Chain A
Amino acid sequence: MHNPNYQKMLGKRETLEIDFKSIEPALSEIAANLEENLLEIMEGVTHIDRIQTRVKGLDSLVDKAQSKVDGKFKYNVPLKEIQDLIGARIVVYYKGDVDVVREMVLKFYNTVEVHSFIPDSATKFGYEGFHTICNIPSPIYSGYRIDPLIPDFFELQVKTLYQHAWSQANHGLGYKPQSKLSYDEERKLAFIAAQSWGADSILSELTTKTH
């Protein structure tokens, strides 16, 4: 029978936990297949530092599922609406390499969302990177069509080494997007981002000259 409460139940931690654990092995298999596929299609592309995929951790999923907008839960069906349950990241050496890899990604995957993160003001420094929500190709999806909990998409990020270093270090500090930082803390984070941006820019200039 149709259970109209199922969608609400999916939002609760225990249901979310049970459902997530039921699909975790499948997610891991898809993530591993995606990594293999990415390595295959990026073969011959130079200046790639690493290609990684991961399955979102349960705690991170629960945290995200609880996020609110204007006092209301952002996700009604978190397991279906959170599109980075499977994530992939390609880290490249130089800024110019991001465009090369981005073109390859768009050639091999159909996407529904494409976003280049750059600070909204010339005087601001912060998170930078290319993000896209890609369809999981059918050879990789491999027989999970009948399980509605298996996501159709994965998130792929392309970053330079410095962008990656900044975002990882920033993430490691444990600040949540909704946490309020002091003026001084925000300035320090912006300073580190500016240093990373500077290093990236100078390296790009040098590599353009030497190549």
Chain B
Amino acid sequence: MTTKDGFEIKFVFLAYVPPYDAGAAPSVLKTEVIKTAGKTTDYLFKIFDASFNESTVEILFNSDGKQNNDIRSLILAIAQKTKSADKKKYADRLAHALYNVTDQRNGTGLFAVIIGAKDHITRLVLARFKGDDGLVNKSKNLLIDYVSEVFTKRSNHYKLAVFQDILSDKSFWKAYSIDKQLTASNQKQISIFWVEKFLQAKTALTSAQGTIQFSKAIKGIISTSVDLNEQEEIITGVINLRHKSGAKISISDFCDKYLSPNTAVRLKESIKDKDFLNSVFEIDREIYRKEFGKTVLAIQDGIIVYVPTFQYEKHVTEVANNDGTKNVIIKGRLNSKKMNAQSKLPENVRQKRNTRN
């Protein structure tokens, strides 16, 4: 079997995975290897072909510090084994791993493993389709024709992870994921059930790295903006995001939720790397406070004022003028006055001088 994009399909595996039941027999999972083309494969291969471009959240397997992860080992084994029976043995184990973390809230799912190869590249796609009552009732016979009906009903509801590499013992540490069940209004961009519990993985950007890169992107766009409204809009977005404790976000998500369409487009276009645009990370509060701690106001006659960003409203009042411009009134106790206080000496030299004095 070959997909429209020219991938030679090596293995298609389906499993009916109900919620975990400690009392159920192990045979509760029904699995099947599909060897002939049909409606089901047509549907699956369409998803397979689109998976690499469609999945935008970069994920990385957790490691024990010695390059081991049980789920990755199963996935790699499915890809590396040459006999279909061996591939199925490991796919069964993977389906069981999914079963073990599936609860009633997740519901019944149809789990698919598809492997294809093109030139020297191997692509492995894992997908979980949301099942329904019908699927539960008919689960005793996992018929390919019936499965295609499920796909038709739920065609846009699935979680997916795609692995693509030149196959080696070090392959498949990284994947790209998508969760088509989550709505745009949902704060979580990834499914914890799918990425963290089942795959034993995490988003590939650390909180600290994500926050510092986010800061660079925001400061970059503000520094090139000549529009005061746009600058204010971005800074307001930064202040509002700070209140979302533990929020997982991407730059793309920030643009959609906190910026106007025009500013969002400008910020998105300023990010060269589109993977980074969709990389999800948790805000590191300490770095966020440090990176965005100061707002710099440039006032007429060359006046520059540094205001603590997150206490802006406490100290600054903005007054609109008739001509559309603004005046600012800065309030606060005056502690000292200095002349030429902004030294151009490097920080370490300044520290040494201060210590001597």
Contacts and interface: CB of A to CB of B under 8 A. Distances in A.
Q: Do A and B bind each other?
A: yes
Contacts of B273: 138-139, 141-143
A112 B63 contact: yes
Contact of B166 (A6, A137, A153): A6
Contact of A135 (B117, B165, B167, B174): B174
Q: For chain A, what secondary structure do more than half of its interface residues adopt (helix, strand, loop), or is it mixed?
A: mixed
Interface string B298-340: 0000000000000000000000000000000000000000000
Interface residues of A, number: 38
Contact of A112 (B67, B117, B164, B168): B67
B275 A2 contact: no
Contact of A138 (B67, B165, B202, B205): B205
Contacts of B275: 138, 141, 143, 145
B170 interface: yes
Contacts of B258: none
B118 interface: yes
Given A7-B168, A137-B204, A113 B119 contact: no
Given A7-B166, A148-B165, A110 B204 contact: yes
A118 interface: no
B119 A6 contact: yes
A113 B63 contact: yes
A3 B173 CA distance: 23
Interface in A47-103: 75-77, 79-81, 83
A111 B8 contact: no
A211 to B, nearest CB: 13
Interface in B113-170: 117-121, 164-170
A137 B120 contact: no
A148 B60 contact: no
A109 interface: yes
A180 interface: no
A1 B119 contact: yes
Contact of B168 (A81, A108, A153): A81
B170 A83 contact: yes
Given A1-B119, A108-B206, A143 B167 contact: no
B276 A80 contact: no
B205 A113 contact: no
Interface centre among A83, A115, A137, A153 (most CB of B within 10 A): A137
B209 A113 contact: no
A153 B63 CA distance: 13
A149 B206 CA distance: 24
Given A138-B275, A148-B121, A77 B168 contact: yes
Contact of A152 (B8, B121, B173): B173
A115 B63 CA distance: 13
Contacts of A199: none
26 contacts: A7-B166, A10-B166, A41-B208, A80-B171, A107-B206, A107-B208, A108-B212, A109-B206, A109-B209, A110-B202, A110-B204, A112-B61, A115-B65, A133-B67, A135-B174, A135-B204, A137-B205, A137-B206, A138-B58, A138-B275, A139-B276, A141-B273, A143-B274, A148-B120, A148-B166, A152-B173
Interface of B: 8, 58, 60-61, 63, 65-67, 117-121, 164-171, 173-174, 202, 204-206, 208-209, 212-213, 272-276, 279, 347
